[in-house]
Amino acid sequence: MATQPRPSPLRRWILITALAVVASAMAVAASLSPHTSASGAAQPYTFTTIDVPNATKTFGMGNNAAGDVVGYFVDASAPFHGFVFRGGKFSTLDFPGDNVAWTQANAINDAGDITGNYSLKAPAPTGNVHGFLLTSDGKWSTADYPEEGHIMSGGGYAIANDRTVFGCFHDGVPMTAMFGYSLGSGGTSRFEYPAPGTAFAMHYGATPDGKTLVGSYRAGGTSMESWHGYLVAGGKTISFDVPGQLSANALGIRQSPDISIVGTYKVLVDKTWNLHGYVAATHGSLDPAKWDFSMVDVPGAVQTIVRGINPGGSLVGTYIDTAGINHAFIATPGAPGSPGDPPSSGGSSTPAPAPPNTGTGPAEDHSGAPALIPAALVLIVLGASALAAAGSRRAPRVS
């Protein structure tokens, strides 16, 4: 009967070490994958600037399934005017009336109905900031929380396909309380979070069916670290933060093909808090630990604010350039120059250089992880060589 001799202690040590090296190298390589949950990996987008012609500042606020974009801009005639960008053309939106000081358009549904804010001129009564609804057939109406005496009566920041408006109203001078609200054919609701009586929260986004909401709340103080995002779904309110980052705000949400949330987080740079964007893919889970977060910064921008996302994954928002000027943008999934680039804004499209390295994983990942991948491969090769060497020293059979 043929027998095998016991491997020498040296060969056993080589085998064990080689296997350990290979396993370690595989773990390192896996940890560097850009698809790791909550990894903060960047996702490629094609960015297009959509500034309103002759505006000094433009703010992108929301988009819909058709790719229509709403927002507001600044010019010499008023602090803010609303706009809609549709089919490559801009239309200005101003709430009607001689006593209106400014208008902001914040959200648009798939039917083309728009909501936002407007303010009365001074001297204005308490509650001079109001929410509005502009229907797709051109009819304007006020959309306030139906209760008197608030320092800010209402502000629309999201709109469902049935024209339900979601937003916030404020109390206190200076502001000491902020409440979310909804207003539509189903009635009015008031949202107090994180606790009744101490609420400081507002609704920023809603799915087209109006059943899932996102927003931001403040708890535990007034510092930047006190802001968090929330998701309201299935009768539950879930608080979340961007992993490893501070001051999360949830500003927009899409419903299909899966629930994805967009917003901002803050990074302290030279004593200044800078905003950066993110997209969180929930994969149908209500557990933020199972979400995938991708960081999004407009290339070359100092700050990026992501406000909306549509079913195609296109983003809309605002970026601030090195001169401190605000610009609206559209970000279409895919590398620059890929098919399906968003339309130009009639000569205002502004391609930008490579993004600055803030150390927080902006539009391109500067974390240094790619430099570690060859080292992992070297470990795998060394481990494989050790296994081969151990095998070559195997003793011959004894009959």
Helix axes 9-31, 369-392, angle to 10 degrees: 160
- Supply the mean pLDDT for the chain: 77
Residue among 42, 6, 64 at smallest CA distance from 398: 6
Distance CA 114, CA 141 (A): 11
CA dist 59 and 65 (Å) reads: 19
Instruction: Tell me if 157 sits within 8 A of 204, measured CB to CB.
Output: yes
The percent of residues above 70 in pLDDT, for the chain, comes to 71
pLDDT at 380: 27
Amino acid at site 125: P
Query: What is the pLDDT at residue 124?
Result: 66
pLDDT at 170: 82
The per-residue pLDDT for 269 is: 83
Q: What is the pTM of this model?
A: 0.75
Predicted confidence at residue 259, as pLDDT, reads 95
Indicate if the pLDDT at residue 246 is higher than 80: yes
Cα–Cα nearest to 80, from 52, 112, 107: 52
Share of the chain above pLDDT 90, in %: 55
The per-residue pLDDT for 105 is: 98
Q: What is the per-residue pLDDT for 173?
A: 63
Provide mean pLDDT across the span 376-395: 33
CA angle, corner 91, sides to 88 and 94, nearest 5?
155
For the cut 70, the answer to whether the pLDDT of residue 347 exceeds it is: no
- Under a CB-based contact definition with an 8 Å cutoff, are residues 83 and 70 in contact? yes
Structure confidence by residue, pLDDT tens digits, 79-103: 899 999 999 999 999 999 999 999 9
* Cα dihedral value 334, 337, 339, 344, nearest 10: 100
* Lowest mean pLDDT segment, chosen from 263-277, 330-344, 360-374, 385-399: 360-374
Domain extents in the chain:
1-34+368-399, 45-364
The more confidently predicted of residues 351 and 303 is 303
pLDDT tens for each residue of 99-148? 999 999 999 999 999 999 999 987 766 668 899 999 999 999 999 888 77
Per-residue pLDDT at 31: 30
Query: Looking at the DSSP assignment, which residues form a beta bridge with residue 340?
Result: none
Q: Which CATH number fits domain 45-364: 2.60.40.1260, 3.40.50.1220, 3.40.140.10, 2.120.10.30?
A: 2.120.10.30
DSSP code string of 175-201: T-EEEEEEEETTEEEEE--SSTTS-BE
